Structure 1
Amino acid sequence: MAHLLGAEQLRVEYPTRVVLDGVTIGIGDGDRIGVVGRNGDGKSTLLRILAGKQQPDAGRVTRRSGITLGMLDQADELATGRTVLETVVGDRPEHEWAGDRNVRDVLAGLIADIPGHTLVDDLSGGQRRRVALAALLSREWDIVVLDEPTNHLDIGGVAWLAEHLKRRWPAGQGALLVVTHDRWFLDEVSLDTWEVHDRIVEPFEGGYAAYVLQRMERDRQAATVEAKRQNLMKKELAWLRRGAPARTSKPKFRIEAANALIADVPPLRDTVELTQLATSRLGKDVIDLLDASVSYGDRAVLHGIEWRIAPGERTGILGVNGAGKSTLLKLIDGSLEPTSGRVKRGKTVVVATLDQQLADLRAVENERVSAFVAGKRASYVAGGKELTPGQLLERLGFTSAQLSTPVKDLSGGQKRRLQLLLILLDEPNVLIMDEPTNDMDTDMLAAIEDLLDSWPGTLIVVSHDRYLLERVTDQQYAVLPGPDGVGRLRHLPGGVDEYLRLAATAAGPAQGAGRATVASVTGASAASVDSRGSGAASPDRSVDSRVPDAAPSAPALSGAERRAAEKELASIERRIEKLTAQTDALHVLLAEHDMSDYEGLAARNAELQAVQAEVEQLEHRWLELGELLG
């Protein structure tokens, strides 16, 4: 394996502490490396030094001659006054970039919904991030360095990025170095893992799951060594007092199977032991959304939402940005009333929302953390023990120094943890979490997940973090556009995989149209390049059926054929509505069924599966007719 990039004896020191000390690492052809570690331990610093954007205080970085390296930094630095298309493809002639399959794939996968003529100055933060990522990936690099590339990507976008990176280079060529808190993404793209901790970089073989097992073994070994040392010291002291000769045997440490490791997990460095807070009593009725629809003026956002949220239910909500997820959450927490239909709430329901805005902390940003929490309550009961505010905060990963820090000076991840603590101390019994993983490292995410496992209330999570959704929720729903383009709530028995299949099927024609829009900004699409007979046109165009250059045109229909298709389409829509109502009724019957009647339960479940299978077939036919009618 050819060496591409290396670092020797790196040292980085800030006024208050040393981040890296004596670090020596190397990157070679074929390496796919995920970088993990606590926030503040130096992950981003390491990436910037390797990319040449920051100089170490000591040590050096070496790079093989002729190697090209591209980096996505967290700063999203884009040149002002340029359009989206100019930013992504640069000054390359149109026939060159339009004939490049990789460029077309990147445009379609990341920015198909952003018009190419839009100025980057007018973009939102999330759009700027996607444009910066597209500009990087549209070019050829020997080494790609990505710092939190999944920020502002939905689940479909994260899945696309993972597939793109896996097929970007042939096996054994190119190198990838990525920092991300998305553990599913890490497992998909990385073959090795670097953990940055305690001033060093420690390598592990495999992706995130393999790293967790190896780290558990490392911690077990360290604990065994310490226990052995303590035991030897006790024996030696006893022997010295007796005057007997020292005779010791070396205990042998052995790791059993992965199940044995998991059964005896060592504590994380930032341990969260907040296992139980008193919660308000939650009755049988929680929140029922009954045929609820929401419109803003003439624009309908949600239609016919039927959802009976049960006590203790743990649900994940999926959907693209703008699908209506936030509107759905507002219906649940009562901050928005439906335009039609109604929302029924139980008398004892207490709803709390962990949102993305950290609005709860703005009013107290100048107060010190410990004083602010102490002002809310003098003591708390957690895990059957009475704790001071300082003890409780330390169990959430706050150090003693951070307890005296003003709220405004906390990092993003620390503010999220503080916000979650304050919400739980208000004793809600329905908790809504809107993108809770922002700004948290993998250790703290694991700790938060452990906390949520023991929380006894009803949990509703909206997140693009697939690992988190599958870890803390028992079922998933998706907000998907119906035949009229208005959002509808759909249960996903197949989980995230089913959502990705449905989203890909529904977005296929629209995505093709989006690509054509981007290509037509300069007045000519990639297809026109071929019509001019340019020698730069890529010969692989006809093979790459995944990325058409323009939206496919519907086949011509006669008047009778079109009327028949429209009639069948209307019939299917009516049938789907009836089956959807039947599905909801079967869900209610299953919930109310006697759990000891196994035969009856099996019959009800078989009936439900048959109805759902028929709905899926009808939806596929509905999509075919929609394409046929154009």
Structure 2
Amino acid sequence: MAHLLGAESLRVEYPTRVVLEGVTVGIGDGDRIGVVGRNGDGKSTLLRILAGKQEPDGGRVTRRGGVTLGMLDQADELATGLTVLETVVGDRPEHEWAGDRNVRDVLAGLIADIPGHTLVDDLSGGQRRRVALAALLSREWDIVVLDEPTNHLDIGGVHWLAGHLKRRWSPGAGALLVVTHDRWFLDEVSQDTWEVHDRIVEPFEGGYAAYVLQRLERDRQAATMEAKRQNLMKKELAWLRRGAPARTAKPKFRIDAANALIDDVPPLRNSVELSQMATARLGKDVIDLLDVSVSYGEKQILHDVEWRIAPGERTGILGINGAGKSTLLKLIDGSLEPTTGRVKRGKTVVVATLDQQLGDLSAVAHERVSAVIATKRTSYTAGDKELTPGQLLERLGFTSAQLSTPIKDLSGGQKRRLQLLLILLDEPNVLIMDEPTNDMDTDMLAAIEDLLDSWPGTLVVVSHDRYLLERVTDQQYAVLGGRLRHLPGGVDEYLRIAAHAAAPTGSQDAGRATVASVTAAAPASTAPSAPTLSGAERRTLEKELSALERRIAKVQGQVDALHVQLAEHDVSDYSGIAALHEQVRGFEAELESAEERWLELGELLG
């Protein structure tokens, strides 16, 4: 494996502390490295030094001659006055970049929804991020360095990016170095992991899942060694008192370290117990959305949504940006009334929202953490344990010294954790989480997930973080075309539906369709025209379309009715539940087939 880039004895010091000390690392051809660690421990600093954007206080960085490196920094530095297309493809002639399969793939995967003639100065923060990523990936590099590339990407975009990076180079060629809090993405693209902690960089073989196992084994061995040191005489005495037969059987290390580590760990959640607790706190009625539609002016965002939320239900909501997810959350928390239909709430329902704005903390920004906590409850029950606010703070990664810190001086991740703690101390029984992973590192996400495992209320999560969705929710729904659709197949099913809906008709290459949409010229002039239909053919197709819409509505109603039966069914009747699930799967398959034909008819009719 050829050496591409390396660093020797790096030292980085800030006025208040040393971030890196004596760090030596190397990157070679074929390396795919994910970088993890707590916020503030130096991950981004390490990447900037390796990319040559920051000078270390000590040590040196070496790069093999002729090696090219491209980096996506957290600050999106785009030249002003340029269009999106000029930013992404530069001054290359159209025939050159339009014939480049990699460029077409990047345009289709990242910025197909942004007109190419738009000035970058007029873009939103999320659009600028995607354009910066597209500009980087549309060029050839020996080493690609990415700092939080999944920010502002939806689940489909993250899925595309992982696939692009895996097929970007042939095996054994090129190198990738990526910092991200998206653990699913990290596991997909990385073959090795670097953990930045305590001024050092510690390497691990494998992606995120392998790193978790190795780190747990490392911590277990360290704890075992410390326990042995502290209790040596006590163990020796116990050993001697067991007698000769016991001394003939020496303890042996288990080969299967993973099983040894987790064989006594209980399931993530005791679903039956949590459901019973949720029912006791909430009753049978939580929130029902009954034939709900929402319109803003003439634009309809949601239509004919039927959803009965059960006590203790843990639901993830998927959908592209602008699909109506936030509107759906506002219906649930009562901040928005539907245009038609009605929202029915149980008498004991108390809804709380962990949103993206941190608005709840702005009023107490100058107060200390301890003073704000003191205004809340003195204890909190998590599962069968009673915790003080201080213990909850410790569980969420706060130190005792941070209790006296003014809230305005906390980092973004610390503010998010404090916001969640304050919400939980108010003891809501319905919790809405809107993009909760912002500003969180992987350790803090794991701590929050652990806390939510013992929370007995109803949970609704909107997130582009696939790992989090699959970890804390038991079922997923998608907002598609203004309708709410259940996803028995989870995120994979959503990605299949989204890919089918985005695919162009016929055998036309998706990349060519995207090229047409991002050029400065009007895309309509290059888009394929719908086939010419005779009057009789059009009427026949319109009749079929109308019949399909009625059929889809009917089948959806049958699916919703079955979900109601499942929610009310006796949990001990396993055969009855299995039969209901089988019926749901049958109707879902019929619904998917009908929707695919509906899309085809829509394309034919224009």
Q: Give me the TM-score of the superposition, normalised by structure 2.
A: 0.91
1:241-256 pair list within 5 angstroms: 253-254=253-254, 256=256
Which residue of structure 2 aligns with residue 5 of structure 1?
Answer: 5
How many residues align? The count is: 583
Equivalent-residue separation in structure 2 for 1:4 and 1:602 (angstroms) = 55
1:67–1:285 distance in 2 versus 1, CA, 3 Å: same
SS in 2 for 1:24: strand
Which residue of structure 2 aligns with residue 497 of structure 1?
Answer: 492
RMSD over aligned Cα atoms: 2.6
Equivalent-residue separation in structure 1 for 2:64 and 2:89 (angstroms) = 27
Equivalent-residue separation in structure 2 for 1:434 and 1:302 (angstroms) = 18
Percent identity of the aligned residues?
84
Gaps of at least 5 residues in structure 1 are: 239-248, 267-274, 482-486, 529-549
Which residue of structure 2 aligns with residue 520 of structure 1?
Answer: 519
Deviation at 1:593, TM superposition (A): 3.8
Q: Is the 8 A contact 1:509 1:551 kept in 2?
A: no
Deviation at 1:428, TM superposition (A): 0.0
Deviations 1:189-230 (Å, cap 9, x if unpaired)? 001111111111111111100111111111111112222222
The reply on whether 1:460 has 2:436 as its aligned counterpart is: no
Q: Is the 8 A contact 1:516 1:551 kept in 2?
A: no
Q: Is the 8 A contact 2:383 2:455 kept in 1?
A: no
Letter of the structure 1 residue corresponding to residue 84 of structure 2:
V
Deviation at 1:564, TM superposition (A): 1.4
Which residue of structure 1 aligns with residue 549 of structure 2?
Answer: 573
Q: Is the 8 A contact 1:34 1:193 kept in 2?
A: yes
Letter of the structure 2 residue corresponding to residue 589 of structure 1:
Q
Equivalent-residue separation in structure 2 for 1:595 and 1:220 (angstroms) = 38
Deviation at 1:180, TM superposition (A): 0.3
1:92–1:442 distance in 2 versus 1, CA, 3 Å: same
Letter of the structure 2 residue corresponding to residue 569 of structure 1:
L
Equivalent-residue separation in structure 2 for 1:302 and 1:590 (angstroms) = 25
Letter of the structure 2 residue corresponding to residue 161 of structure 1:
L
Equivalent-residue separation in structure 2 for 1:104 and 1:512 (angstroms) = 5
Letter of the structure 1 residue corresponding to residue 149 of structure 2:
P
Deviations 1:425-480 (Å, cap 9, x if unpaired)? 11100000000011111111111111111100000000000011111100000000
Equivalent-residue separation in structure 1 for 2:579 and 2:382 (angstroms) = 44
SS in 2 for 1:194: strand
Letter of the structure 1 residue corresponding to residue 495 of structure 2:
L
Which residue of structure 1 aligns with residue 502 of structure 2?
Answer: 507
Q: 1:622 aligns with which of 581, 598, 603?
A: 598
Q: Is the 8 A contact 1:292 1:305 kept in 2?
A: yes
The reply on whether 1:65 has 2:65 as its aligned counterpart is: yes
1:223–1:264 distance in 2 versus 1, CA, 3 Å: farther
Equivalent-residue separation in structure 1 for 2:578 and 2:218 (angstroms) = 46
1:519–1:437 distance in 2 versus 1, CA, 3 Å: closer
Which residue of structure 1 aligns with residue 447 of structure 2?
Answer: 447
The reply on whether 1:588 has 2:564 as its aligned counterpart is: yes
Q: Give me the TM-score of the superposition, normalised by structure 1.
A: 0.87
The reply on whether 1:436 has 2:447 as its aligned counterpart is: no
The reply on whether 1:22 has 2:22 as its aligned counterpart is: yes
Deviation at 1:581, TM superposition (A): 1.2
SS in 2 for 1:65: coil
1:360–1:602 distance in 2 versus 1, CA, 3 Å: closer
1:31-430 pair list within 5 angstroms: 31-232=31-232, 253-254=253-254, 256-263=256-263, 281-377=281-377, 389-430=389-430
SS in 2 for 1:521: coil
Deviation at 1:605, TM superposition (A): 3.6
Equivalent-residue separation in structure 2 for 1:607 and 1:191 (angstroms) = 41
Deviation at 1:324, TM superposition (A): 0.1
Letter of the structure 1 residue corresponding to residue 192 of structure 2:
D
Deviation at 1:412, TM superposition (A): 0.9
- Please identify, of 30-39 and 215-224, the stretch whose mean Cα deviation from structure 2 is larger: 215-224
Q: Is the 8 A contact 1:293 1:338 kept in 2?
A: yes
Which residue of structure 1 aligns with residue 269 of structure 2?
Answer: none
SS in 1 for 2:460: strand
SS in 1 for 2:131: helix
Deviation at 1:97, TM superposition (A): 1.5
Deviation at 1:235, TM superposition (A): 8.0
Equivalent-residue separation in structure 2 for 1:581 and 1:237 (angstroms) = 70
Letter of the structure 2 residue corresponding to residue 572 of structure 1:
L
SS in 1 for 2:231: helix
Q: Is the 8 A contact 1:370 1:389 kept in 2?
A: no
- Please identify, of 197-206 and 379-388, the stretch whose mean Cα deviation from structure 2 is larger: 379-388
Deviation at 1:253, TM superposition (A): 4.5
SS in 1 for 2:114: coil
Deviations 1:505-538 (Å, cap 9, x if unpaired)? 112239779724544305799xx9xxxxxxxxxx
1:233–1:40 distance in 2 versus 1, CA, 3 Å: farther
Letter of the structure 2 residue corresponding to residue 187 of structure 1:
D
- Please identify, of 612-621 and 157-166, the stretch whose mean Cα deviation from structure 2 is larger: 612-621
Equivalent-residue separation in structure 1 for 2:209 and 2:369 (angstroms) = 35
Letter of the structure 1 residue corresponding to residue 107 of structure 2:
L
- Please identify, of 605-614 and 72-81, the stretch whose mean Cα deviation from structure 2 is larger: 605-614
Which residue of structure 1 aligns with residue 536 of structure 2?
Answer: 560
Letter of the structure 1 residue corresponding to residue 483 of structure 2:
R
Letter of the structure 2 residue corresponding to residue 308 of structure 1:
R
Equivalent-residue separation in structure 2 for 1:54 and 1:211 (angstroms) = 28
Letter of the structure 1 residue corresponding to residue 595 of structure 2:
E
Equivalent-residue separation in structure 1 for 2:297 and 2:60 (angstroms) = 61
Equivalent-residue separation in structure 2 for 1:387 and 1:603 (angstroms) = 42
